[in-house]
Structure 1
Amino acid sequence: MKYFKSLFIIFLLFSGVQLFAQTRSELEKRKAQLNKDIEMINNTLQKTSLDKRVTLKQLNALRTQIRLRVEKINTINSEIRLLDGQINENTNQVRSLQSQLGQLKSDYAAMVRFAQKNQGSYSKLMYIFAAKDFNQAYKRMKYLQQFGEYRQKQARYIENTQNTLKNKITQLNKNKLDKDHLLNDQQKEKSTLGVAQNKQIKVVSSLSSQEKRLKQDLAQKQRDAQKLDRAIRQAIQREIEIARKKAEDADRAAAAKAKAEGKEAPVARTTNTSILNSTPEAAKLSADFVSNRGRLPWPVANGVVTEYAGIQKIGNVTREVTGWTIKTNAGSAVRTIFEGTVTTVIDIVGSTVVIIKHGEYFTAYKNLGSVSVSKGQKLSTKQTIGTADGQAEIEFHIYKSSQEQDPKYWLAPN
């Protein structure tokens, strides 16, 4: 029983290490991605710092950097908590193995002493022949045989336990060293975060003190956003009208056929949803798009959101933000998040916009430096549609018919 109990303990130790390593690996991967995102934002801050005039772009970059650093600190804290748990577990396991090893050695020593007292063949024979009957003699012979095999097993098991204990102590020391490194990293991040937060306060103060210019800048951004929104909605409305015309023609044909056959005419499609999903292909595409909600790929392979949809407030000045602004690298490929058909390629307020239809859903990609698709072209998921412009900040929007959606509910976690 002791033997199998010990094997079970070793199995649990191995399983715990595997599970810990998997979780730790995920945290390390997330931390590496955060480091890349922070480096990307730092490059933006270095460029904007050359401009003596404080800008909204600089503030957005600072806010994004602070958000990323806070997430990185939280990730480090999660790693530390995992290591603390593993250190405690390993410490308890080392103590348990040491106690178990001591008992094994004590038992083995007793067996060795017994064997030394009865090591001669004569003693073994006397032990067997001293039996009362043949049955007892057979049992004594089997006992001596099993005793020898058990000694060998115990010797091997002591060796295995020693190796397990040695490996566990090595792992424990490594965990402690990793924790020291994480604590140092955490302290550096907190220090850098404090500097960024102080800088943000100064930038907000500077922008607030120039409220008149700030309002003008925000008003201009708002006008550009409204112009973009109108253009996109007009393009979507044109697609709805095209689909409506096709649906009406199909409904009239179906009604005429039903009348000729003496049947009741089907209900005409009138809502945008029924119109845009009037064909089996469009309905399936819409259903597939919805089924991937929360799992759709990003429009860029590497990017970080600098502006989320919602209300942006700076001092006493506010503005409504639609869609996402995603910082990426200049010249990075921009790709469609789902299969669909290009409906529009237009220039709006100095930048190129591509609109793609996915059944009753539409996606829009703004601030493209180059475009590699054309109207009517069918695309597959993640197919490149162009590249980011020199500013390397694309705007991304999702619509259900003409109703804008928040991308955070549709795109996969970065």
Structure 2
Amino acid sequence: MNANRLGLLFLFFSFLLQVPFHAQAQKKTARTTKQPVKSKAQLEREKAANLRRIKEANRILQQTAQKKQASLGQLNVIKEKITVQKGVINNISTEITFLDKDLQTTEEKVMETQTDLERLKREYSRMIYAASKTANSYNKLMFLFASESFNQMMRRMRYLRQYTEARKKQAAAIEQTQQNLNQQLTTLTTQKQQKKSLLNVQLSENKNLLGMHDQQDQVIQQLSLQEQSLKQELEQRQQAVRQLDNLIANLVREEIARAARAAERAAAAKAAREAAAAAREGKSAPAPVAKKTATSSNRVTLTPEGEVISSNFAGNKGRFAWPVERGFISQRFGRQAHPVLKNVVVENRGIDIQTGSNERVRAIFSGIVRAVQTIPGMGNIVMVQHGEYFTVYAKLRTVNVTEGQEINIKDTIGTVSTDADGTSELQFQIWKNQSNLNPEGWLLRK
């Protein structure tokens, strides 16, 4: 082999040694795909919440379904199940969307890895071909002895060693890339199976939703045949609501007046003490400050302790635990269309929470029980004061507290009553002085 040929081989070896054989492959392997971790975690939480709500609704529906005649309670439960079922289907659709993105990413990675693998194999083939030109010891020795100086010979020896190591690294890179490809193909197969399974689940849940809509239509049709009794029931309810409204308004006014009188007495006692102290010191007593009468104020006059309680109550808006552990909102706050009677609007001062029979009713915050009374159609009623805020719990079967009693958060107030149709429902209201508020915005979201 002449010196020119050896020189060309030397340059070829040097070129191969400069090629980053597996750098790109390593880069592709090390690259991670940003996953919407929080969104998927949120999906899992929503899925668990939906399963819990469906379980609760089924338990409540089983109770109301024991009665042969259709009822508004049954209709409310079916509507709740439909709402939750739509959430389940939306949850699955979002999961499929995420999985489609994962599938696309995995397919792209598979194509890139396959391209890298082919490139590495081509480079390795060129290296093997080049190595075959100097496969015997004679050619290697000729390559070394053709050096023009001792330093050049040492560099050539180093290049030969590096070239041997490069071939080993290239082979290792090919093997690692092949393993990565196999793993990606396995992941791709798993993701496709997951998507197929989710699509089957989605199809099944859509069928369940259609069945729920059919069940809802049947109950509405049965209830439509009871129009006269529904109107009578509505009239009785509205009469009970009016009595409850008047009761609450009177109780709030009484508390406003009582607090104002107490504040006036405290102010008078303070003025008397100041006058007595001034007389002892030979000073003139301070002029009395005019106070508003009890009837001129439309809000509770708060003591320092009452101001703290009011502030804490307001600061917990949106974080209060529900007054019952299980259940759903069967009728929302404000004006709502009647679920069966056409052109009939029902106004609700609070929210109705449908739950199971004998469900325990809990105080949502610490306070003082201001009233325990009974109204036909509303059962037992408990009113609790929290500074200038009041919570009202109606439709109670039993009551565990007395007027003037101080209670703490989650203390048992009583149990929910169940009507003749098998519907167990709590009426819950929140007032700030003489204005009633939407309780739904104050409770934790389920």
| Aligned residue in 2 for 1:358 | 386
Whether 1:201 aligns to 2:220 is no
Higher-RCO chain (CA-CA 8 Å, sequence separation at least 6): 2
Residue 86 and residue 240 in structure 1: after superposition, are their counterparts in 2 closer, same or farther (change >3 A)?
farther
Quote the Cα distance in structure 2 between the aligned partners of 1:334 and 1:353.
Answer: 12
Deviation track 1:322-353 (CA, whole Å, cap 9, x = no partner) reads 32222334444433333444444444436343
CA contact (8 A) 1:364 1:397 kept: yes
Quote the Cα distance in structure 2 between the aligned partners of 1:132 and 1:258.
Answer: 115
| Aligned residue in 1 for 2:97 | 81
Residue 86 and residue 282 in structure 1: after superposition, are their counterparts in 2 closer, same or farther (change >3 A)?
farther
Quote the Cα distance in structure 1 between the aligned partners of 2:351 and 2:121.
Answer: 66
Residue 386 and residue 70 in structure 1: after superposition, are their counterparts in 2 closer, same or farther (change >3 A)?
same
- Alignment identity in percent? 35
| Aligned residue in 2 for 1:107 | 123
Quote the Cα distance in structure 2 between the aligned partners of 1:128 and 1:338.
Answer: 91
Following superposition, the deviation at residue 95 of structure 1 comes to 1.8
Task: Tell me whether 260-269 or 95-104 shows the greater mean CA deviation.
Answer: 260-269
Quote the Cα distance in structure 1 between the aligned partners of 2:324 and 2:24.
Answer: 53
Quote the Cα distance in structure 1 between the aligned partners of 2:221 and 2:359.
Answer: 34
SS of 2:319's equivalent in the other structure is: coil
Deviation track 1:298-344 (CA, whole Å, cap 9, x = no partner) reads 23333222222231323233321232222334444433333444444
Following superposition, the deviation at residue 371 of structure 1 comes to 4.8
Whether 1:294 aligns to 2:323 is no
CA contact (8 A) 1:362 1:398 kept: yes
TM-score (norm 1): 0.80
Which of the residues 225, 230, 255 maps onto 2:241? 225
Kindly name which structure, 1 or 2, has the bigger radius of gyration based on alpha carbons. 2
SS of 2:384's equivalent in the other structure is: strand
Residue 334 and residue 210 in structure 1: after superposition, are their counterparts in 2 closer, same or farther (change >3 A)?
closer
| Aligned residue in 1 for 2:427 | 395
- Root mean square deviation of aligned Cα: 3.9
TM-score (norm 2): 0.75
| Aligned residue in 2 for 1:305 | 329
Deviation track 1:272-320 (CA, whole Å, cap 9, x = no partner) reads 55x45x3343333333333333333323333222222231323233321
CA contact (8 A) 1:254 1:265 kept: no
**What aligned pairs does 1:304-383 form with structure 2 within 5 A after superposition?**
304-310=328-334, 311-313=336-338, 314=340, 315-349=342-376, 351-374=379-402, 375-380=404-409, 382-383=410-411
CA contact (8 A) 1:345 1:353 kept: yes
Residue 112 and residue 407 in structure 1: after superposition, are their counterparts in 2 closer, same or farther (change >3 A)?
farther
Deviation track 1:8-53 (CA, whole Å, cap 9, x = no partner) reads 544553542xx35x53343233233323323333344344344343
Task: Tell me whether 364-373 or 301-310 shows the greater mean CA deviation.
Answer: 364-373
Task: Tell me whether 168-177 or 44-53 shows the greater mean CA deviation.
Answer: 44-53
CA contact (8 A) 1:300 1:335 kept: yes
Following superposition, the deviation at residue 410 of structure 1 comes to 1.9
CA contact (8 A) 2:21 2:120 kept: no
Structure 1: any 5+ residue segments left out of the alignment? none
Q: Given residue 393 of structure 1, which amino acid in structure 2 is its aligned partner?
A: E
Following superposition, the deviation at residue 264 of structure 1 comes to 10
How many residues are matched?
408
SS of 1:13's equivalent in the other structure is: coil
Quote the Cα distance in structure 2 between the aligned partners of 1:394 and 1:279.
Answer: 32
Q: Given residue 392 of structure 2, which amino acid in structure 1 is its aligned partner?
A: A
| Aligned residue in 1 for 2:87 | 71
Structure 2: any 5+ residue segments left out of the alignment? 1-19, 279-284
Task: Tell me whether 48-57 or 319-328 shows the greater mean CA deviation.
Answer: 48-57
CA contact (8 A) 1:312 1:321 kept: no
